[in-house]
Amino acid sequence: MQRFQYYIGGEFLDGEARFQSIDPATGDVWAEMPEAREADVDRAVDAAEKALYEGPWAKLTATQRGKLLYRLADLVAANARKLAELETLDTGKIIRETSAQIAYVADYYRYYAGIADKIEGSYLPIDKPDMDVWLRREPVGVVAMVVPWNSQLFLSAVKIGPALAAGCTMVVKASEDGPAPLLEFARLVHEAGFPAGVVNIITGFGPSCGAVLGRHPKVAHIAFTGGPETARHVIRNSAENLASTSLELGGKSPFIVFADADLESAANAQVAGIFAATGQSCVAGSRLIVEASVKDAFLSILKRKAEAIRIGSPLDMATEVGPLATKRQQDHVAALLEKSIASGARRITGGQKPDGVGYYFPPTILDCDGVNSPSLAEEFFGPVLSVVSFESEAEALRLANDTRYGLASGVFTQNLTRAHRLMKGIRAGVVWVNTYRAVSPIAPFGGFGLSGHGREGGLAAALDYTRTKTIWLRTSDDPIPDPFVMR
């Protein structure tokens, strides 16, 4: 059995306790993980604080920080295969997806390497004589980063990259479900030569590790990705230290298909949008909103494609859908599906939890027309698509916005003016037109409503890890007059 360690203050350690990690494809224990509790969290935050104020990190130029980030990017690229295999083993995400995604993670680090020496302050044209006033941009401080199990290397890169570019130090808490890839990534941080304590990577459970980290008095900012219910705890925890927060949460994203769309192309995007990563994707296009006149035609293409999907071992390059990450997730998907069918939703395909080992669930499509199905409101975070139809553009927009979430959306139409109206009308952080699920380090990403606040990606994300300091410098050599002598 493999044993992993965590990374605190530049050292690899065993931790206070240990827990077992399960291979979701078999349900068997495959590795042992270190479990951080209060004392380890304290140690990690202390190391980050020391690195921020006392270590060599604070004295590095921004260009030197950038060079370390470039080195890290190269190491991620060189080790992508190994990291991908670990992520696949520990979370069940198929190797086809993990290898492509991790190779791209290197580009995120490269992008932020280039940003490091482009974070500029400013000079203010102040309304007083003999005074120079400018703003310095300084790192916000020690950052706590908490991520869920899916795509941990990606979800942490969009935090670690900009935070390092900005000069912050950090404690990253990997999810207790599938922490192996992030713990292995720590070895690359070490090899890249970041000073001890700049990046600390631990894992542990929500209440005994994540919450302790979030309310730690030395934490200045919490960058969280996960579900809205946990995010409420994160905000409560942040109140302890009045830390700022950025929250990347779940979604119930609409995928709108008009009758004039290229249906074959839209169906491919929809299949990727809901069944990729076995539906465990925050941007999953989980609500199909299709024009009534093409509903049957579109569903028949989708059904054919969904039934042709190759389900199998996540380590096999030919596999298209692997298991869900945990038994808990499999049970959640099955229970929400049962509730939805009980409410009147009709099964078009899938829906049966297969017999045998592993936490598999087949691609499933539910017709929810005329039904108040919970599947239209609640996040499965699994391979289940809910379908409703519309007669007019106004109805399509109303249905798209009929959610408390607002992460992503897709619009498929050949009508340019209609596409523009929908871009403006949809209340979500991302609108994809005639495409879906595209991301880039250059493009900001984040949600509205229950999908959270703050943006990851782009230059603005690096600025979010800074705060300004206002400097006033009097440039006159004349002595300051006595304030109590009348003139």
CA distances from 321 to 184, 220, 385 (A): 25, 40, 15
Beta carbon nearer to ligand NAD, 330 or 389 = 330
Beta carbon nearer to ligand NAD, 152 or 389 = 152
Q: How far is the CB of 67 from ligand NAD (least distance, A)?
A: 29
Structure tokens at 64: 């030197």
Structure tokens at 436: 């879906």
Q: How far is the CB of 438 from ligand NAD (least distance, A)?
A: 14
Q: How far is the CB of 349 from ligand NAD (least distance, A)?
A: 24
3-class state of residue 197 by DSSP? coil
Q: Is 248 a catalytic residue?
A: yes
- Report the alpha-carbon distance of residue 279 to residue 251 in Å, rounded: 12
Beta carbon nearer to ligand NAD, 86 or 266 = 86
Catalytic residue among 35, 97, 184, 248: 248
Are 213 and 241 in contact by the 8 Å Cβ rule? The answer is no
Structure tokens at 321: 């859908």
CB count, 10 Å around CB of 357? 13
Q: How far is the CB of 95 from ligand NAD (least distance, A)?
A: 19
Which positions lie near ligand NAD, rule CB under 6 A?
146-150, 155, 173, 175-176, 205-207, 210-211, 214, 225-227, 230, 233-234, 237, 248-251, 282, 379, 381, 407, 447
DSSP string, 293-358: GGHHHHHHHHHHHHHH--B--TTSTT-SB---S-HHHHHHHHHHHHHHHHTT-EEEE--PPPSSSS
Q: How far is the CB of 54 from ligand NAD (least distance, A)?
A: 27
Beta carbon nearer to ligand NAD, 43 or 455 = 455
Are 59 and 48 in contact by the 8 Å Cβ rule? The answer is no
Fill in the DSSP letter of residue 136: E
Are 396 and 291 in contact by the 8 Å Cβ rule? The answer is yes
Q: How far is the CB of 332 from ligand NAD (least distance, A)?
A: 9
Beta carbon nearer to ligand NAD, 196 or 247 = 247
Beta carbon nearer to ligand NAD, 241 or 415 = 241
* Strand-strand pairing, 142-146 and 221-225: parallel
- Report the alpha-carbon distance of residue 318 to residue 310 in Å, rounded: 7
Q: Which positions are annotated as active-site residues?
A: 248
